[in-house]
């Protein structure tokens, strides 16, 4: 990618996400093979795993080492409340081991490893340092360490999402998708299956996608095999959105869980606009990845009343779709605002991502046509 103002930030972000994906693959394989106690429920009943905390720790540590120590602003999902409970000592031990095993391989990703293994307190500090609330001024890194934790624990789709916001604008987006099949139609073929247990051959699944605002270019790299060093950006290929603009031919994505999106309203919109294919229900921000690389054309998400969307669930994916030639707005057709803190404030009904303006306009029109009969 061209030598831009933020080239160093993009370079580091891509390498860190590759490293985080490697950690996630190891933790997921261990979890699925042993069913060990690596998953906990948070106060809102959502799940958190050893991978969530471990990825947040290594991303926080690496970014802080490269870009300014304790003063760096990182907005991320996890805290250390559960890890610091007395009954969580074994869980904390697993996080410490996972982090240090991953950091020991940092040179494979072109990054500098610490001089010695990090202590539990250093790792907890790295996790808790990600407590920024973002905002309209300054530079803020935005991390979802494991987006789609339910997909992660089921051996299905999940993502490591890292973005950088500068003065309220998303400038860098990097999305690691360890279980995303690289072949065309792979996501549709393996949708809601345990990809880990299917034992898809190495080299056919897993990638990192990345972009920088204003370049109009999105790149995809296969995940790094365990015996290789990262060659960046030599192994990357450029991806683009689909050219389909006929609703009858379009594939649309939505969340798997009904708690995350109103499937019935989405079905009404689909019927109104003339979508004929069944929805492709996918865990995590991989839905954005599918649009960015042309495997799907539409992503609709209509959260139920009272739910507030967090910026870490969308920042990286939105930029990927936009720079790949697509359009992302709220359901009223307005741009998403990432400058208001950790939430997408003022969101109109939901989020619509499309491969092009023609489909987008049709979907927005269908939202308004369907609204009176909805139960949102």
Residues annotated within a binding site for Mg(2+)? 77, 144, 147, 313
Catalytic residue selected from 149, 211, 251, 329? 149
Which runs of E-coded beta strand occur in the chain? Answer: 39-41, 47-49, 74-76, 139-147, 159-166, 169-181, 205-212, 218-222, 237-239, 252-254, 280-281, 298-301, 327-330, 351-354
Helix (H, G, I), strand (E, B) or coil at 226: coil
DSSP string, 238-286: EE-------GGG--EEE-SSTTTS-HHHHHHHHHHHT--SPPEE-STTH
107, β-bridge pairs: none
Place of tokens 């559960």: 82
What's the half-sphere exposure (Cβ side, CA atoms, 13 Å) at 223? Answer: 28
Task: Determine contact, residues 16/59, Cβ cutoff 8 Å.
Answer: yes
Alpha-carbon span 42 to 188, nearest angstrom = 31
Catalytic residue selected from 34, 37, 52, 245? 52
Query: Which token pair is 121?
Result: 């307190």
79 is catalytic: no
149 is catalytic: yes
Task: Determine contact, residues 93/162, Cβ cutoff 8 Å.
Answer: no
Alpha-carbon span 49 to 214, nearest angstrom = 35
Residues annotated as catalytic are 52, 149
């Amino acid at each position: 990618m061209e030598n831009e103002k933020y080239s160093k930030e993009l370079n580091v972000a891509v390498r860190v996400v590759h490293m985080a994906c490697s950690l996630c693959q190891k933790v997921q394989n261990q979890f699925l093979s042993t069913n060990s106690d690596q998953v906990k429920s948070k106060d809102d009943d959502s799940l958190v795993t050893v991978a969530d905390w471990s990825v947040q720790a290594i991303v926080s540590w690496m970014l802080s080492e490269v870009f300014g120590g304790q003063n760096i602003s990182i907005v991320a999902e996890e805290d250390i409340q559960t890890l610091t409970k007395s009954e969580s000592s074994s869980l904390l031990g697993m996080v410490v081991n996972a982090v240090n095993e991953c950091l020991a391989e940092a040179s494979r990703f072109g990054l500098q490893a610490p001089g010695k293994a990090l202590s539990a307190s250093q790792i907890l500090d790295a996790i808790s340092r990600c407590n920024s609330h973002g905002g309209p001024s300054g530079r803020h890194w935005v991390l979802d360490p494991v987006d789609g934790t339910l997909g992660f624990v089921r051996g299905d789709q999940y993502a490591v999402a890292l973005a950088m916001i500068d003065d309220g604008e998303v400038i860098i987006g990097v999305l690691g998708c360890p279980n995303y099949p690289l072949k065309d139609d792979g996501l549709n073929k393996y949708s809601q299956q345990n990809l880990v247990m299917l034992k898809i051959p190495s080299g056919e699944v897993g990638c990192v996608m990345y972009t920088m605002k204003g370049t109009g270019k999105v790149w995809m790299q296969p995940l790094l095999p365990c015996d290789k060093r990262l060659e960046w950006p030599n192994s990357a290929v450029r991806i683009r959105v689909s050219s389909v603009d006929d609703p009858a031919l379009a594939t649309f994505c939505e969340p798997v869980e009904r708690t995350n999106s109103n499937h019935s309203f989405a079905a009404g919109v689909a019927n109104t606009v003339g979508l004929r294919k069944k929805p492709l229900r996918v865990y995590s921000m991989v839905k954005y990845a599918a649009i960015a690389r042309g495997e799907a054309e539409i992503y609709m998400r209509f959260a139920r009343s009272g739910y507030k969307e967090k910026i870490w669930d969308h920042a990286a994916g939105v930029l990927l779709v936009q720079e790949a030639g697509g359009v992302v707005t709220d359901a009223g057709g307005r741009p998403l605002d990432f400058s208001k803190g950790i939430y997408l404030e003022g969101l109109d009904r939901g989020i619509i991502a499309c491969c092009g303006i023609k489909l987008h306009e049709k979907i927005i029109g269908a939202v308004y046509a369907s609204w009176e009969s909805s139960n949102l």
